Amino acid sequence: MKLPSLKIGNLTARIPLLQGGMSIRVSTSALAAPVAECGGIGIIGGSGLPAEEIGEDIRKAKTLTNGIIGVNIMYAAMNFYELVMASIEAGVDLIVTGAGFSRDIFKIGKKYNTPIAMIVSSPKLASLAEKLGASAVIVEAKEAGGHLGTDIDLRTLFPMVRKVVQKIPLIAAGGITNGYEMAEMMDKYGADGIQIASRFVLSEECDVSDEFKQTYLNAEKDDIVITSSPVGLPGRAIATPFVKSLARRIDLTAKKCKHLCLRSCDHQYCINERLLAARAGDYENGLFFSGENTYKMKSILPVAEIFRQFVTQAESVYKENCGFAPPAPESC
């Protein structure tokens, strides 16, 4: 059965799939635009960068596609509201936010007719987001990469949130690696769509270094671990020498803050510098955020082929809430 479209506010995505917004400079217009062209929602990672750069990249993406372009901005970012306004002025279609909770963002979204999708990891915050005016809620579970708000798995957490969010789209995120799992979340659990991120790192269009992608390809299950972050949240990443040093409590303290990127930072290390090191392919010193199931993905594919696989697999088993019995999924 054909997958339904995904409606968020005044937007309609032909394919109910959001590409996760990965910072810093992991998901840029180079990735978001082809995702949007394929009928999904392309998301630019907007945290940790100057507002001018985000605005420029959104405008660039809008020249490359007529599809939906969004931006993901962490509330923990010190220049959160500056980034939000720069994105709106650049013509962004959707703002996705998480890593903290802003009440004012919904007022801004309403004023400028820009839908707001809130990333949450609890029923309480999901319900609050709906009441305050969110156009969609993204339920992000423990399987996700990057900063985590819960240690509960997706198939346990999602039904808890589904019970309290009824009027707006509810999107499942965390560890989804193929179309069979996409159909499962939509059929069995009632998701209106899914968000995936790590799979798109392993796309030809993602403009991180080849070494970054090879780190993903080389990762085994035990290589993907929980680590600490200066934000004050746990994070899921690949166990590089840097992450192993953190686990051994080696002092990596950022002696002086150069970036002023976070509202609250314990200076355990400079997350901006470590993420940029990863983007450049510095395996020794980089922080390679990664979803729990990245080890299952063993190929770099064009964005169009990733979409083809997800849609073909999902539609082969999708029954529109009539139960779910997928074949044994193959890794992409």
Span 109-146, pLDDT tens digits: 999 999 999 999 999 999 999 999 999 999 999 999 99
Q: Are residues 25 and 122 in the same domain?
A: yes
Looking at residue 253, its pLDDT comes to: 81
Residues 98 and 186 grouped into a single domain:
yes
Q: What is the mean pLDDT of residues 257-271?
A: 73
On whether residue 131 sits in a domain, the answer given is yes
Which residues lie below 8 Å from residue 237, measured CB to CB, with a gap of 6+? 145, 146, 224, 225, 227, 243, 287, 288, 289, 290
CB hemisphere CA count around 331 (13 angstroms): 10
pLDDT of residue 324: 40
Q: Can you tell me the distance from the alpha carbon of 85 to that of 62, in angstroms, rounded to the nearest whole number?
A: 17
Residue 20, token pair as written in the block: 């996760």
Same-domain pairing of 201 and 226: no
- Whether residues 197 and 308 fall in one domain: yes
Which pLDDT score is estimated for 124? 96
248 occurs within a structural domain: yes
Is the same domain home to 24 and 91?
A: yes
**Residue 325 pLDDT greater than 50, yes or no:** no
Summarize pLDDT for 61-90 with one digit per residue, the tens: 999 999 999 999 998 888 899 999 999 999
User: What order of strands is seen across the sheet that includes strand 224-227?
Assistant: 146-147, 235-238, 224-227
pLDDT at 258: 62
Q: What is the pLDDT of residues 179-206, one digit of tens each?
A: 999 999 999 999 999 999 999 999 999 9
Verify that 202 and 215 share a domain, yes or no.
no
97 with 60, same domain: the answer is: yes
Question: Does 328 score more than 70 pLDDT?
Answer: no
> What CATH number has the domain bearing residue 158?
3.20.20.70
Residue 227 lies in a domain: yes
* pLDDT tens sequence across 155-182: 999 999 999 998 999 999 999 999 999 9
**Is residue 326 very low, low, confident or very high in pLDDT (cuts 50, 70, 90)?**
very low
Residue 211: what pLDDT? 98
Query: Would you say 13 and 70 are in contact if contact means Cβ atoms under 8 Å apart?
Result: no
pLDDT of residue 332: 36
Mean pLDDT of the chain: 93
Does residue 327 surpass a pLDDT of 70?
A: no
- Asked if the structure places residue 247 within a domain, the reply is yes
Answer whether residue 11 is part of any domain.
Answer: yes
Is 323's pLDDT higher than 70? no
| Structure-block tokens of residue 78 | 């010190």
Q: Is the pLDDT of residue 329 over 60?
A: no
Chain segment 39-64, per-residue pLDDT in tens: 999 999 998 889 999 999 999 999 99
Query: Is residue 328 assigned to a domain?
Result: no
Q: Which domain holds residue 33?
A: 6-206+297-317
pLDDT band at 260 (very low <50, low <70, confident <90, very high): low
Do 150 and 141 touch, CB atoms closer than 8 A? yes
| pLDDT tens column, 219-259 | 999 999 999 988 888 999 999 999 999 999 888 887 666 65
Are 108 and 183 within one domain? Answer: yes
| Residue 332 belongs to a domain | no
Task: Indicate if 223 and 82 belong to the same structural domain.
Answer: no
Who has greater pLDDT, 331 or 44? Answer: 44
* pLDDT at 255 (0 to 100): 67
- Residues 52 and 100 grouped into a single domain: yes
Phi-psi region of 65 (alpha: psi -120 to 50; beta: other; left: phi over 0): beta
pLDDT digit string (tens) for 2-34? Answer: 999 999 999 999 999 999 999 899 999 999 999
Same domain, 192 and 125: yes
Read off the pLDDT band of 38 (50, 70, 90): very high
Please indicate, yes or no, if residue 326 is contained in any of the structural domains: no
Question: 146 and 175 in contact (C-beta within 8 Å)?
Answer: no
Give the chain's domain count: 2
Q: Are residues 45 and 145 in the same domain?
A: yes
